[in-house]
């Protein structure tokens, strides 16, 4: 019999509904694991133990009365600490908001609450979803569960670490230039950035209005699809939200990849500075696996990767500085050093620079669209290297993490990072799957097929306490 | 004065002017690291300034369907 934390949302949901387990048991087990394991990885900023147990009791009472609000009922989860939660502190991992207790839930938190999900707490992030991993903030940085000497990536660092460690099955993150997909890749979880406009950003502290996306990090592709079913949908209070029908995100999980055409912009990562040969080998192996399963994989050309990266970074710097302008003028030293150094250059972007970046953005989006006329999806790298060691970071200069995710923040296409194996040093390796706008089901379907074929989750990090509670 | 020194001084003068215009007071111990960030930004903004077609204009970016449609 599996330990409780090893049951997926789908599996735990079935057991809750046939009465084999209770939400209270799942929640108590999760809180016990957090107490034992989290001191090693610092993934939680706030553990909402008391309210979580109350949520669990409510969920169990609902099941007993035959009330079923949806697949997350009774399931423990957690949120990156930039998602507003009514009555629960939301800090953005920053001393600037250390006492911030929102009155209202973010749209995503409200959707989970309405389903009867159990909120375990709030998760570590890079400060304001940008600056980290840092030791000059009010909370320590999250660490990689596979080896706590290594970074978990960011900015959804706590979300990825908590999922990989088996503290939660699913945690919400945000992604402005890879902040879901990067940590998912470094920690060996699934991380989905949906299409821009698919999931409401209302009540999520912004980093860059036109690049921010909210999405799930989960242990399995199916659990990602389940989370999407809860959080997707039009929100008139989010100016970027798009009023389109919400698909069945599980509809293609068992479809396979037979007959699909997959484009591979291999030049992006093979020619990148510093790419690890074992990353290239793992990606080539993954492409061959998909080909053996029946997909046609062809190398394609896209505009130079650096154009996408630069376009996104110019826009992000400008929008982020505009959001923080007043605090940078009046209390700049309250920010962590990395945040300060990454955000300040936004003050130096001219109006002409910004407009030219927006013009380029359209061309870059259309270049991806053009390829997706001929291909059902694209596959490419998520990261160029396994996770770095904390000790290798320069404390005086923010790291430029080797994550190749920014193109799809610029274009808005759905993109998902999934595990594809491990490095020789025992750290996760990953692949990114990119779909047509609003076609998350195809992305999830390809991921689920690969996951089933390669059995990418044979074990969890152990910490020497694998049998905990 | 060699060109690279003149360029460096020009960069620093531009940096100081833009910081002042933005209302920022730059701590001396952070200035050199910020200057590196400024130069990296300049490298990236240079990539933005290339000829574009007429249809590449900002209005499209704020209508998500116009960017994501298969046009």
Q: Quote the pLDDT of residue B1.
A: 60
Q: Are A234 and B65 in contact (CB under 8 A)?
A: no
Q: Quote the pLDDT of residue A369.
A: 94
Q: Are A52 and A119 in contact (CB under 8 A)?
A: yes
User: Across the interface, do B56 and A359 touch by the CB < 8 Å criterion?
Assistant: yes
Q: Kindly indicate the confidence band of residue A469, based on its pLDDT and cuts at 50, 70 and 90.
A: very low
Q: What is the CATH number of domain A7-454?
A: 3.90.1300.10
Mean pLDDT of the A434-459 span: 93
User: Across the interface, do A348 and B19 touch by the CB < 8 Å criterion?
Assistant: yes
pLDDT at A287 over 90: yes
- Please write the tens of the pLDDT for every residue from A146-178: 999 999 999 999 999 999 999 999 999 999 999
Tell me which chain B residues have a C-beta less than 8 angstroms from the C-beta of A322.
none
Instruction: Give the count of alpha carbons within 13 A of A467, CB side only.
Output: 1
Distinct helix (H) and strand (E) counts, chain A:
14, 11
ipTM: 0.90
- Please write the tens of the pLDDT for every residue from A187-215: 999 999 999 999 999 999 999 999 999 99
Tell me which chain B residues have a C-beta less than 8 angstroms from the C-beta of A361.
61, 67
Q: Quote the pLDDT of residue A337.
A: 96
Q: Kindly indicate the confidence band of residue A467, based on its pLDDT and cuts at 50, 70 and 90.
A: very low
Lowest-confidence range among A75-84, A279-288, B5-14? Answer: B5-14
* Most B-contacting residue of A234, A303, A339, A356 (CB-CB within 10 A), to test interface: A356
User: Across the interface, do B61 and A362 touch by the CB < 8 Å criterion?
Assistant: yes
Q: Kindly indicate the confidence band of residue B4, based on its pLDDT and cuts at 50, 70 and 90.
A: confident
> What proportions of chain B, in percent to the nearest 5, are helix, strand and coil?
70, 0, 30
- Please write the tens of the pLDDT for every residue from B15-36: 999 999 999 999 999 999 999 9
Mean pLDDT of the A401-406 span: 96
Distance (Å, rounded) from C-alpha A461 to C-alpha A455?
16
Number of structural domains in chain B? 1
Mean pLDDT of the A59-79 span: 98
Tracing tokens 């001396």 back to the chain, one arrives at: B28
Lowest-confidence range among A219-223, A352-356, A465-469, B27-31? Answer: A465-469
Tell me which chain B residues have a C-beta less than 8 angstroms from the C-beta of A210.
61-62
Q: Quote the pLDDT of residue A430.
A: 97
CB atoms within 10 A of CB A373: 8
Q: Which residues, 6+ apart, have CB-to-CB distance to A418 below 8 Å?
A: A184, A190, A221, A430, A431, A433, A447, A450, A451, A456
User: What's chain B's average pLDDT?
Assistant: 85
Mean pLDDT of the A405-411 span: 97
The boundaries of the domain holding residue B63 are 3-68
Task: State percent of chain A over pLDDT 90.
Answer: 97
Q: Are B68 and A413 in contact (CB under 8 A)?
A: yes
- Please write the tens of the pLDDT for every residue from A14-38: 999 999 999 999 999 999 999 999 9
Question: Which DSSP symbol is given to A172?
Answer: E
- What are φ and ψ of residue A93, in 5° steps? 60, 35
Tell me if residue A80 is catalytic: yes
Identify which of A227, A77, A78, A42 has the alpha carbon closest to the alpha carbon of residue A152.
A42
Three-state DSSP class for residue A66? coil
Identify which of A180, A174, A177, A135 has the alpha carbon closest to the alpha carbon of residue A42.
A135
Mean pLDDT of the B4-10 span: 80
Tell me if residue A94 is catalytic: no
Q: Quote the pLDDT of residue A468.
A: 41
3 state SS for A285-340 = HHHHHHHHCCCEEEECCCCCHHHHHHHHHHHHHHHHHHHHHHHHHHCHHHCCHHHH
Distance (Å, rounded) from C-alpha A348 to C-alpha A350?
6
Identify which of A427, A434, A423 has the alpha carbon closest to the alpha carbon of residue A281.
A423
Tell me if residue A271 is catalytic: no
Q: Rounded to a whole number, what is the distance in Å from the CA of A72 to chain B's nearest CA?
A: 30
pLDDT at A127 over 60: yes
Q: Kindly indicate the confidence band of residue A466, based on its pLDDT and cuts at 50, 70 and 90.
A: very low
Distance (Å, rounded) from C-alpha A42 to C-alpha A165?
11
pLDDT at B56 over 90: no
Three-state DSSP class for residue A191? strand
Q: Are A326 and A292 in contact (CB under 8 A)?
A: no
- Please write the tens of the pLDDT for every residue from A341-357: 999 999 999 999 999 99
Q: Quote the pLDDT of residue A33.
A: 97
User: What's chain A's average pLDDT?
Assistant: 96
Q: Which candidate in A23, A43, A80, A252 is catalytic?
A: A80
**DSSP track, A43-63:** -EEEE-HHHHHHHHHHHHHHH
User: Across the interface, do A341 and B47 touch by the CB < 8 Å criterion?
Assistant: no
Mean pLDDT of the A258-278 span: 97
Conformation bin of residue A436: beta by default, left when phi > 0, alpha when psi is -120 to 50? beta
Which strand ranges, in their side-by-side order, compose the sheet holding A428-435?
A44-47, A118-123, A76-80, A170-175, A213-218, A190-193, A415-422, A428-435, A377-380, A261-264, A296-299
Distance (Å, rounded) from C-alpha A12 to C-alpha A25?
11
Distance (Å, rounded) from C-alpha A387 to C-alpha A180?
14
Chain A, window 191-220: residues with a beta carbon less than 8 angstroms from a chain B beta carbon: 195-197, 210
Report the relative pairing of strands A213-218 and A170-175 from DSSP bridges. Answer: antiparallel
Q: Quote the pLDDT of residue A154.
A: 96
Mean pLDDT of the A407-415 span: 97
User: Across the interface, do A197 and B49 touch by the CB < 8 Å criterion?
Assistant: no
Mean pLDDT of the A107-126 span: 98
Q: Which candidate in A179, A200, A208, A318 is catalytic?
A: A179
A359 contacts chain B (CB < 8 A): yes
Three-state DSSP class for residue A421? strand
Q: Which candidate in A94, A106, A155, A208 is catalytic?
A: A155
pLDDT at A295 over 60: yes
Question: Which DSSP symbol is given to A199?
Answer: B
pLDDT at A254 over 50: yes
Tell me which chain A residues have a C-beta less than 8 angstroms from the C-beta of B68.
195-196, 365, 369, 411-413, 437-438
- Give the bridge partners for A434, in sequence order: A378, A415
């Amino acid at each position: 019999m599996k330990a409780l934390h090893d049951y997926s949302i789908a599996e735990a949901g079935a057991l809750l509904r046939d009465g084999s387990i209770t939400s209270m048991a799942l929640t108590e087990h999760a809180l016990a694991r957090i107490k034992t394991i989290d001191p090693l990885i610092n993934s939680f900023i706030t553990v909402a133990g008391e309210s979580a147990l109350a949520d669990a009791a409510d969920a169990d009472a609902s099941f007993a009365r035959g009330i079923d609000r949806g697949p997350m009922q009774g399931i423990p989860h957690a949120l990156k600490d930039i998602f507003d939660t009514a009555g629960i502190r939301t800090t953005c991992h920053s001393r600037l908001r250390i006492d911030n207790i929102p009155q209202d839930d973010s749209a995503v938190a409200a959707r989970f609450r309405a389903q009867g999900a159990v909120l375990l707490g709030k998760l570590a992030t890079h400060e304001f979803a940008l600056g980290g991993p840092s030791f000059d903030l009010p909370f320590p940085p999250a660490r990689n569960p596979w080896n706590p000497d290594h970074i978990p990536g960011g900015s959804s660092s706590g979300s990825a670490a908590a999922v990989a460690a088996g503290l939660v099955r699913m945690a919400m993150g945000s992604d402005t230039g890879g902040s879901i997909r990067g940590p998912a890749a470094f920690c060996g979880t699934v991380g989905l950035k949906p299409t821009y406009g698919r999931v409401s950003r209302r009540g999520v502290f912004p980093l860059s209005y036109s690049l921010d996306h909210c999405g799930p990090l989960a242990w399995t592709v199916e659990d990602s699809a389940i989370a999407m079913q809860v959080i997707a949908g039009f929100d008139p209070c989010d100016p970027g939200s798009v009023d389109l029908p919400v698909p069945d995100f599980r509809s293609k999980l068992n479809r396979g990849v037979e007959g699909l055409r997959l484009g591979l912009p291999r030049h992006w990562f093979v020619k990148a500075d510093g790419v690890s040969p074992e990353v290239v080998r793992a990606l080539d192996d993954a492409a061959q696996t998909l080909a053996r399963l029946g997909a046609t994989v062809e190398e394609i050309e896209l505009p130079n990767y650096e154009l996408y990266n630069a376009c996104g970074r110019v826009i992000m710097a400008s929008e982020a500085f505009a959001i923080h302008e007043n605090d940078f003028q009046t209390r700049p030293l309250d920010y962590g050093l990395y945040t300060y150094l990454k955000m300040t250059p936004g003050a130096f972007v001219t109006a002409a620079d910004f407009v030219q970046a927006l013009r380029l953005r359209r061309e870059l989006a259309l270049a991806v669209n053009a390829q997706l006329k001929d291909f059902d999806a694209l596959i490419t790298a998520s990261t160029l290297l396994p996770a770095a060691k904390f000790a290798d970071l320069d404390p005086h200069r923010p790291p430029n993490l080797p994550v190749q995710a920014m193109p799809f923040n610029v274009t808005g296409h759905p993109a998902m990072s999934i595990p594809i194996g491990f490095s020789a040093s025992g750290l996760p390796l990953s692949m990114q799957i990119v779909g047509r706008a609003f076609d998350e089901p195809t992305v999830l379907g390809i991921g689920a097929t690969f996951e089933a074929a390669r059995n990418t989750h044979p074990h969890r990090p152990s910490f020497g306490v694998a049998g905990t509670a | 004065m060699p060109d690279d020194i003149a360029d460096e001084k020009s960069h620093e003068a531009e940096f100081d002017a833009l910081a002042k215009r933005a209302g920022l007071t730059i701590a001396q111990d952070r200035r050199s690291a910020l200057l590196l960030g400024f130069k990296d930004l300049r490298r990236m903004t240079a990539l933005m300034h290339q000829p574009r077609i007429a249809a590449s204009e900002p209005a499209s970016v704020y209508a998500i369907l116009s960017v994501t449609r298969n046009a």
